[in-house]
Every structure is written in C-alpha cells, then in structure tokens.
Amino acid sequence: MNALLDELTWRGLIADSTDIDALAAHLDSGPISSYVGFDPTAASLHIGHLVQLLVARKIQEAGNRPILLVGGATGMIGDPKQTGERTMNPAGVVEEWTAGLSEQVKKYVDFSGSNAAIVVNNYDWVSKIPTLEFLRDVGKHFSVSRMLARDVVARRLESGISFTEFAYVLLQSMDYRELYRRYGVTLQTGAQDQWGNITAGANFIKRTEQATVHGLVTPLLTKADGTKFGKTESGTVWIDPKLTSPYAFHQFWLNTEDSKVIEMLKVFSPRGKEEIEELAREVEEAPYKRVAQRTLANDVTDLVHGEDLRKSAEKAAAALFGRGELAELDESTLDAVMGEVQTQKMECGSELPSVVDALAASGVVPSKGQARRTISEGGAYVNNRKVEDAEAKISEEDLLAGKYILLRRGKKTVGGVEIVK
C-alpha cells in the first residue's frame, strides 16, 4: 500500500474508502489535490474537526495539496442531524462564523511551496447558480430513492425532515465537482458520518465528468463507554481559547481513559510509531504514572494553543493543588481555573466574609460546623495557605484578581467563591 495510507492506517484514521487499492495507485502516480469541508454551524471548530485538519496535514506532508473548504453556503442549511431539524442561523452570523473558521483552519497546514494549501468558501460559487440551472445541472443526476435510503434520512423520515436538509447532499456533491474542475481535486476526506455525502459526490463527478475520484473517511471517535468523544459535562471541547480555555483544554486530555489514550496519541500526536509504542508499554506497566496522558495533553495543547499557554495551564493545575503560587496566575487563567472548580458567587457588603462562611459557601464542606472542625483538624486551606484560626476572616490580600478565593479541604476537595461587593 501507499506510504501515506500505511501511516493513516497505523494511526487508525481510515474507516472506509471508495477503493483503497485504486486510491493507493492514484497517490503513487504523483502529487494530488484533496479537500475537506467544514460548515460554520458554530463560532469555532471543535476537537472532532481537529482530526480532519490533522489528516489534511498528513496528506500535505506526503507531498499533496490540501484544500480546506469552509461552507459559507452549506452552513446556511446544515447537514442533516440524526436528532432533528437544525436551527438556521441568520446570514450575518454564518458570514461571521465563516470568516472565523477560515482563520482557524490556516494554522494546521502550510501555505508555502509547490503544494501550498488553499482555503475556499463554497458561497463563492453556490450563490451564483440560478435555481433552474441547479435543478437541471445537479438535481437531474440524483435519484430520490437513493437519497431516501441514506441512513440519516431514513431515520428522520418518521420525525420529519425538510426539503432543505434533504437536499444538502446535492450542494456538497456540487462542491466536489467544482473543486475537481477548478483545482483538479480527486480526493475528499471527512468523518465517517460524511460517507454518504462523499460517495454521492464521487458518483456525481463520474456521471457528469466521466472521471474517477476518491473518498476516504475517518472513524468517529468515542469514549470507552461508546459515547461521543470531545464532550464534557460543561459541553463541547472547542479549539477557540475563548470558548474552551487552554487550562480546561489541557485538563480534558489529561483525563483521557487508559483504554483510549494510545488511540488518541496515534490520532492527535505527531509522535512516531516507536515513541507511541513505548508509551503503550508505560500504560501497560505503570498506568498510575499517567505518562501517556501527560504526553497527549502536552502535544495537543502545544499544537492548538502553543507551548506558552500550555505551560501556563500546567502552572495553574499545580497551583490549584498547592504545588504553585496562585497569585502568579494571570486573570484569564484564574477565570478558567475558578470556572473548573465551580466557583460560587458570595455577596457581601463592605465587610469580607469569615473563612468558615467561605468554606461553607464554596461547598468543600457541608456546613459551617464542619468548616470549624476541618480548621481545627488542620485540613482547611485558603489559596493553598493552611488556616489555623477558626475565627479568621478573608482579607483584601486574599482576593485573587481582586475577586476570587480558592478553598481546599485536605489534598483533593477544592472549591471557590467569587466575592461580589
């Protein structure tokens, strides 16, 4: 098999292909152009999209040209969901998100050299096609019975699916043909849930251009219990630091299950086979050291947010549990840390609360009585400083960023309060 496909196979990044042997021969015949699409259905990409960006990077590293499509047109409609009809976002919002995602994707590929990447927006051609031309030139080549047989459509027939979402596949197929015509694109990649759209596009090109093109999809990543990867109790893990802080991002990867960490290293880390196999041995022999999780968290955070922000995230995690100085953290990092410990707002007037009141308000102890007992037993901390006086009060100097107090009981029970004056 082709070296690129061997690499993608070893990393667990191939779930299906239109014809893997034909694709291998095509890749061996010389540099090709491939594309992957991202619809602006939110203000940021998430770590599921990161898989596709890393596949595009691998394709480029093998000497081919990646084209990253941001769907200013398809984002106005939305690919059919399993659960129900999408909410259509206002045109101005979609336009804004399209611009934002176009900048995000640029970070992961190279725009120099003979195989320089290209970012395109399908609104540039979709918006120019008259309805009659679209129906005659595109719609004529799609069988309704075949469209109805698609998994997502079949599942939605009972609950209802609009013609808008039903017709999405025509737009994506048209994108593939447009990129074939403009840039000679002969490979489309995507996640496994895009298989129907990708094969429809390949068939459309075969019908209208009498050409053979290819499709390749990656597996949908899941947790050990089979649930969707990339979701936390607080929501989706975004790559925009304003939506998921570098601290929370780093923590997400640190919490990867032992049974999944090597799989995730193969997908998300640039490390080679020997290094990852060594980490697999570490997981087998000494899982409690969590060396693989730290490696994964550092590699992915460096990739998405850079080494400096990753080091700040590590510093914040150390400070949270008494191994660093909280006062040295900048306000944005503190905001992220306090958000993770589920900080409670505590209103007070001109007088700051007692430590007992703050401990109880934070939830690290169930009552003020328990707060007093924890202090007397030597297990209460304010901003990692042990409290020895049950009558002690919070001072202005205790307020981190002028508003936060971190409370801890013992080594691991942490909470916080935000003082509202």
Rounded CA separation 362/355 (Å) = 10
Say if residues 283 and 261 touch (Cβ distance below 8 Å): yes
Long-range CB contact pairs, 77-80, < 8 A, 24+: 77/164, 77/165, 77/167, 77/168, 77/171, 78/39, 78/41, 78/165, 78/168, 79/39, 79/165, 79/168, 79/172, 79/194, 79/197, 80/152, 80/153, 80/156, 80/161, 80/165, 80/166, 80/168
- Binding-site residue numbers for ATP are 231
DSSP states of 162-206: -HHHHTHHHHHHHHHHHHHHHH-EEEEEEEGGGHHHHHHHHHHHH
With tokens 């998405």, the residue in question is: 304
CA distance linking residue 70 with residue 89, whole number of Å: 16
- For residue 310, what is the enclosing H or E element? helix 307-320
The Cα–Cα gap between 71 and 73 comes to 5
Cα–Cα distance, 252 to 238 (Å, whole number) = 11
Residues annotated as binding site?
35, 168, 172, 231
> Are β-strands 185-191 and 214-218 bridged in parallel, bridged antiparallel, or unpaired?
parallel
**Cα-based angle 273, 278, 281 (whole degrees, multiple of 5):** 130
Annotated binding site for L-tyrosine: 35, 168, 172
For the four alpha carbons of 228, 230, 233 and 239, in that order, the dihedral sign comes to: negative
- Residue 142: strand pairing partners: none
